[in-house]
């Protein structure tokens, strides 16, 4: 086994330099092909220097394309075969180069640096881990291929599993930003194991974390929630209680509601939301936030899904006083929120009409004042009075709804309506 180790090291080194040589040859061939297309092939040295492609470094110095190749070759060599200090310097250089251009990011990944950067995340040195993950974030920017290479290199297995409260805030933020980028793979054919991301994302949201990291975690969860295969893992990992608690945070409410909106259209997600103790009270409270029209729209959408064909949920909503809130949204909400509120109000009105019946007034004979009443007549009188009260309430509700519908076309109400840009959700 000891004899084979130097051979394997030499073989790996040979493969690395072969890959570098092939990369440089491709670059040279592309440059020559561009030059051959010109009709003025004979140029002075001054003209060549003028037309030679330049690349700006972070220090403001200009480098030629050949100079970039030399820097790349040195950095990749250090990352693969250098000491820990060399690897730190190489990761810093790769991070800087990757931030400059998409083509450079793809070229760096072709040289096999991603697995080496992923392996640096096992280090106990915080600065080294930060450099590695920041370089990976830059490499993932704008290219699905590099993100897929990171998943294949085992980046998800490097996520912190426990004791997030003792983990440095900077490292938690960088991991969240990287997962936000990688979660975009959910919309591609590449299979992403969402169950490996979810524990870190949800635990991060449940702990004390900065707003930047929180938004990154919510963004990653939203990307995952758009895929049907991820709904089961999301619900089973307890994402619904976490999101409902974040809904009362006005800074995070919109993103949390958007994720719940993706979950509620599935049977599993809808059931999990219905069974939570914060529903529907939290959504009713959000619909009173006049300064957050987008949140009002999303909350009304979720309530509409929950109330549709569910008398149990509608009765529950009525107990928490949803009808006055819906009337207020129907009068003063954004156009989209108004449509949704009016739709829900129509269901409450239809349900009340069905329960009362089709008659428009009392069908029994009049009772003279002062005449003796038995128990049967007393019960009939109470039923009659209840029926009249319900009819009155129904007529009032219908009148208010009609006024709300008519008010949407009036110029007076239009001055009160908050404009909304939400067009993604139907009704």
- Domain limits at 424? 284-358+385-427
User: How many Cβ atoms from other residues are within 10 Å of residue 343's Cβ?
Assistant: 16
Q: Has residue 38 been placed in a domain?
A: no
Q: Has residue 303 been placed in a domain?
A: yes
Given a contact cutoff of 8 angstroms between Cβ atoms, the answer to whether 381 and 373 are in contact is yes
User: How many Cβ atoms from other residues are within 10 Å of residue 275's Cβ?
Assistant: 9
Nearest to 239 by CA among 217, 208, 267, 209: 217
Angle at 404 between CA 399 and CA 410, to 5 degrees: 125
User: How many Cβ atoms from other residues are within 10 Å of residue 60's Cβ?
Assistant: 6
Nearest to 273 by CA among 217, 326, 231, 318: 231
Instruction: Give the pLDDT confidence score for residue 15 in this predicted structure.
Output: 58
User: How many Cβ atoms from other residues are within 10 Å of residue 85's Cβ?
Assistant: 10
User: How many Cβ atoms from other residues are within 10 Å of residue 312's Cβ?
Assistant: 10
**What is the domain count for the chain?**
1
Q: What is the CA radius of gyration of the chain?
A: 32
- In the numeric block, the tokens 């220097």 are attached to 49
Instruction: Give the pLDDT confidence score for residue 24 in this predicted structure.
Output: 54
Q: Has residue 151 been placed in a domain?
A: no
Q: What is the pTM of this model?
A: 0.72
Handedness of CA 31, 140, 229, 273 (dihedral sign): negative
Higher local confidence (pLDDT), 222 or 29: 222
pLDDT grade, residue 385 (50/70/90)?
Answer: low
Q: Has residue 407 been placed in a domain?
A: yes
Nearest to 179 by CA among 188, 190, 192, 189: 192
Question: Which are the contacts of 38, defined by CB distance < 8 A and separation ≥ 6?
Answer: none
Q: Has residue 80 been placed in a domain?
A: no
pLDDT digits (tens, 9 = 90+) for 129-159: 999 999 999 999 999 999 999 999 999 999 9
């Amino acid at each position: 086994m000891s004899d084979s180790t130097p051979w394997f090291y030499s073989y790996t080194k040979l493969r690395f330099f072969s890959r570098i040589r092939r990369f440089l040859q491709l670059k040279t061939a592309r440059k020559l092909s561009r030059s051959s297309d010109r009709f003025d092939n004979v140029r002075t040295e001054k003209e060549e220097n003028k037309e030679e492609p330049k690349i700006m470094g972070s220090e403001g110095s200009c480098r030629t394309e050949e100079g970039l190749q030399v820097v790349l070759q040195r950095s990749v060599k250090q990352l693969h075969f250098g000491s820990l200090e060399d690897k730190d310097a190489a990761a810093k250089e790769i991070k800087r180069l990757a931030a400059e251009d998409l083509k450079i990011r793809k070229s760096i990944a072709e040289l096999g640096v991603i697995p080496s950067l992923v392996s640096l995340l096992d280090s106990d040195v915080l600065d080294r881990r930060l450099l590695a993950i920041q370089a990976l974030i830059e490499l993932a920017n704008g290219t699905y291929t590099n993100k897929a290479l990171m998943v294949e290199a085992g980046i998800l297995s490097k996520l912190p599993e426990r004791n997030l409260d003792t983990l440095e805030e900077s490292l938690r933020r960088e991991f969240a930003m990287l997962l936000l980028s990688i979660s975009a793979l959910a919309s591609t054919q590449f299979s992403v194991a969402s169950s490996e991301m979810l524990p870190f994302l949800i635990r991060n949201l449940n702990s004390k974390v900065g707003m930047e990291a929180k938004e990154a975690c919510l963004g990653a969860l939203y990307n995952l929630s758009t895929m049907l295969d991820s709904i089961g893992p999301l619900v089973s990992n307890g994402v619904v209680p976490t999101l409902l608690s974040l809904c009362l945070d006005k800074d995070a409410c919109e993103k949390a509601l958007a994720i719940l909106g993706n979950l509620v259209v599935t049977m599993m997600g809808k059931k999990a939301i219905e069974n939570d103790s914060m529903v529907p009270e939290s959504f009713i409270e959000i619909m009173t936030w006049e300064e957050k029209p987008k949140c009002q729209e999303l909350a009304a959408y979720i309530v509409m899904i929950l109330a549709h064909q569910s008398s149990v949920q509608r009765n529950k909503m009525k107990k928490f006083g949803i009808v006055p809130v819906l009337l207020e949204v129907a009068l003063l909400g954004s156009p989209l929120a108004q449509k949704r509120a009016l739709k829900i109000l129509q269901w409450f009105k239809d349900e009340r009409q069905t329960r009362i019946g089709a008659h428009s007034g009392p069908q029994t004979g009049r009772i003279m004042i002062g005449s003796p009443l038995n128990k049967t007549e007393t019960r009939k009188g109470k039923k009659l009075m209840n029926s009249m009260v319900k009819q009155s309430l129904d007529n009032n509700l219908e009148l208010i709804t009609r006024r709300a519908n008519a008010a949407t076309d009036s110029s007076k109400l239009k001055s009160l309506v908050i404009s909304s840009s939400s067009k993604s959700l139907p009704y």
